[in-house]
Amino acid sequence: MFVHCINRESCVHLSGLILLFYLIFYLCLAGMFAFCLYVMLLMLSPYMPRFQDCVSTSLSLTKKSLSPSGVMIRPYLNGFTIAFNVSQPNTWQPYVDSMHHFLAGQYFIQGGNDSEEKKACQFKHLLLQNCSVIEDPMFDYSKGQPCILLKMNRIIGYRPGAGVPMSVDCKVQKGNESHLRLVDFYPGNETFDLMYYPYYGKFTHVNYTSPLVAMHFTDVQKNYLVPIQCHLNGKGIINDLNSDRFLGRIIFTLSIGK
């Protein structure tokens, strides 16, 4: 390196200054690099809270989603037939136990009020109203009016319904349509509320509980096998594939005896 100096002493002095300059220069570079790395890691972190989307119902979403929207029912014991006799508690108790078991996993977290609920995006089972355990610990199986829960598969980042809440409806799949006279849905608007979507994964969404829709079969023909098909309806929801009975819909049979 060419250093212009008048005498030996000032030359040493100048070299020292230049060394100091480069030292500080490289330290700054290293610092900037470390900072960038830190910011990037922060953005990659699964813990980084991105709860903002939960607070709003994200109605502005326009992204078309074609992701599978698999659905499942609870209780689920041996298959998609729910058969019991009202007068024989041992025939419906397993279904009631299955409901308790499912809800006890997460949904009995009752603390907090509505404002907290949105923060954590937790579906509280009180929203199931007449199908909540508070209303009836037997979920009305003892009255021959079973509650059945509809649950969507958890898919990280999935925004179902392309920004419009999905609704649910049920009808007789094949056969006499008058065998299914009344189904009540809870929460009252028979929709999966978008504030619970998207799910960001178990690190970000500690204690996340998937939203549910409870179907209350209050007036089903007794002593008949009644095949029932429940559909999810919403933008981008596929619910009529013959090859997949669980995509956007579910088919099960109710058989309720006296």
Ligand X SMILES: *[C@@H]1O[C@H](CO)[C@@H](O)[C@H](O)[C@H]1NC(C)=O
Q: Give me the least distance between CB of 198 and ligand X, in Å please.
A: 16
Chain residues that interact with ligand X, rule: CB under 6 A: 83-85, 91, 109, 113, 115-116, 120, 129-130, 165, 176, 178-179, 184, 187-189, 191, 193, 206-207, 221, 257
Based on CB atoms, which residue is closest to ligand X, 113 or 243? 113
Contact 144, 86 (CB under 8 A): yes
Q: Give me the least distance between CB of 36 and ligand X, in Å please.
A: 30
Contact 145, 217 (CB under 8 A): yes
Angstrom distance (rounded) from CA 143 to CA 183? 15
Q: Give me the least distance between CB of 22 and ligand X, in Å please.
A: 48
Q: Give me the least distance between CB of 52 and ligand X, in Å please.
A: 16
Based on CB atoms, which residue is closest to ligand X, 22 or 108? 108
Contact 149, 74 (CB under 8 A): yes
Based on CB atoms, which residue is closest to ligand X, 6 or 188? 188
Based on CB atoms, which residue is closest to ligand X, 58 or 153? 58
Whether the bond between 137 and the residue before it is cis, its omega within 30 degrees of 0, is no
Instruction: Please name the residues in contact with 174: beta carbons below 8 A apart, sequence gap of 6 or more.
Output: 227
Angstrom distance (rounded) from CA 173 to CA 164? 26
Based on CB atoms, which residue is closest to ligand X, 14 or 53? 53
Q: Give me the least distance between CB of 42 and ligand X, in Å please.
A: 19
Based on CB atoms, which residue is closest to ligand X, 106 or 229? 106
Q: Give me the least distance between CB of 150 and ligand X, in Å please.
A: 15
Angstrom distance (rounded) from CA 253 to CA 180? 11
